[in-house]
Amino acid sequence: MVVKGLSHYSEQIGIIGGGPAGLFVARELLRLGLKVDVFEASKQIGRPPHCTGIVSTRTFERFSIGFDCVEGVYREAVFVDERLRVFARVEGTPLAIKLCRPCLEELLAIQVLELGGRLFLGAKATHVDSQGKLFLERGRVKTYDHIVVADGATRTISRKLFKSQCSWLTGVEVRVVLQKRVRCDAFYTFHGPRFSRGFFAWFAPVKDGREAVIGVGSKNAVVERLNHMLKLFDKLVGIAGVYERRSGIILGGPPAQKPVVGRVYGIGDSLCTSKPFTGGGLYAISILYRPLALAIRLEQPRVYKEAYGALTRELKLQHLYTKIARNTWPLAKKLLELVFKRKCHIDFDKHS
């Protein structure tokens, strides 16, 4: 939706980062009639990919992106332990949707350009000041009315700015072609020290169960653990080929204390707003991109601070539960087993 009568509004916004956070905000600001420049360090939008792209149906709805980037619809999440025993199942109608990540960013970039935004690729920002100065490599400086920092999990610019002390671990995943077709309406998470330290491994079927994404998040030995998963699935269903290796940083929170510093706003992994149990960062982006754009348009940072405050209260609680569950894992697993003895409905975003 383009808000009529507001186009060519003179405010200019500079956005650092052409990932989902930066691009969703850019699209929204343009729809509100503001002028937007997006600076992306990489030479290609959405590349290299670094995300499985699983979101809840509500997160998907909030994104308003249509179905072009959907590559999987899951009705069930299955929890598996070290002995390959299923200890919990969670279902929904559907429970989650898998987005193709490079496709998501490409789609958003096209929408941003169509709405009149400017996208600068291979343009790395080095720092910003709170009054709206954006510094780029090779000494270039631009001045904006507002700046949005969406620099992702590396947080090179946002870390100091928003004072976030975020826990993290490494995630790697590959796409595989399967010899046997598998059920495609469920994804699986694998728990226990052989699969991961401090997180889990996953298997998410795509392409009608003919291919899958196999990944591991762990505090150490991610490559060894990924190889263990590949051997396991080669035995179980046969792997005909492995392609597209991805890796990145999975954040575990807690979220940054403040999302606004002067004329600079943060969003996405730059604020460390991932869901602590799954590392999913797209949920928070879906909640925050509209309030952020509105706050800038109305010159009312309060609008964004309130939305951020409500979200972080929820995430901090999730952070606490996750910490307790991970520190007492055998006990927490038993509890999950009891609670989920029968298939159970759950809010995929709130973990409740």
Ligand X SMILES: Cc1cc2nc3c(=O)[nH]c(=O)nc-3n(C[C@H](O)[C@H](O)[C@H](O)COP(=O)(O)OP(=O)(O)OC[C@H]3O[C@@H](n4cnc5c(N)ncnc54)[C@H](O)[C@@H]3O)c2cc1C
Q: Which residues bind ligand X (CB under 6 A)?
A: 16-22, 39-42, 50-55, 124-125, 150-154, 156-157, 171, 173, 215, 248-250, 268-270, 274, 279-283
DSSP secondary structure string, 304-346?
Answer: HHHHHHHHHHHHHHHHHHHHHHHHTHHHHHHHHHHHTSS-EE-
- Cβ proximity to ligand X, 33 vs 172, nearer residue: 172
- Cβ proximity to ligand X, 155 vs 297, nearer residue: 155
User: By the 8 A CB rule, do 109 and 23 touch?
Assistant: yes
Nearest-5° angle of CA 119, CA 52, CA 1?
45
**Side-chain half-sphere CA neighbours of 59 within 13 A:** 24
Shortest separation between residue 247's beta carbon and ligand X, angstroms: 7
User: Nearest 5°: phi and psi at 272?
Assistant: 60, 45
User: By the 8 A CB rule, do 142 and 136 touch?
Assistant: yes
Shortest separation between residue 183's beta carbon and ligand X, angstroms: 19
- Helix ranges (H only) for the chain are 20-31, 57-63, 101-114, 158-161, 222-236, 282-298, 301-327, 329-339
Q: Which residue number places its CB atom closest to ligand X?
A: 281
Shortest separation between residue 158's beta carbon and ligand X, angstroms: 9
- Cβ proximity to ligand X, 259 vs 280, nearer residue: 280
Shortest separation between residue 118's beta carbon and ligand X, angstroms: 14
- Cβ proximity to ligand X, 20 vs 259, nearer residue: 20
- Cβ proximity to ligand X, 33 vs 201, nearer residue: 201
Shortest separation between residue 341's beta carbon and ligand X, angstroms: 27
Shortest separation between residue 291's beta carbon and ligand X, angstroms: 16
CB atoms inside a 10 Å sphere around CB 183: 11
Shortest separation between residue 155's beta carbon and ligand X, angstroms: 8
Longest dimension (CA), the chain: 62
- Cβ proximity to ligand X, 71 vs 269, nearer residue: 269
- Cβ proximity to ligand X, 119 vs 249, nearer residue: 249
Angstrom distance (rounded) from CA 203 to CA 216: 9
- Cβ proximity to ligand X, 51 vs 78, nearer residue: 51
- Helix ranges (H only) for 20-166 are 20-31, 57-63, 101-114, 158-161
The three-state secondary structure class of 126 is strand
Shortest separation between residue 151's beta carbon and ligand X, angstroms: 4
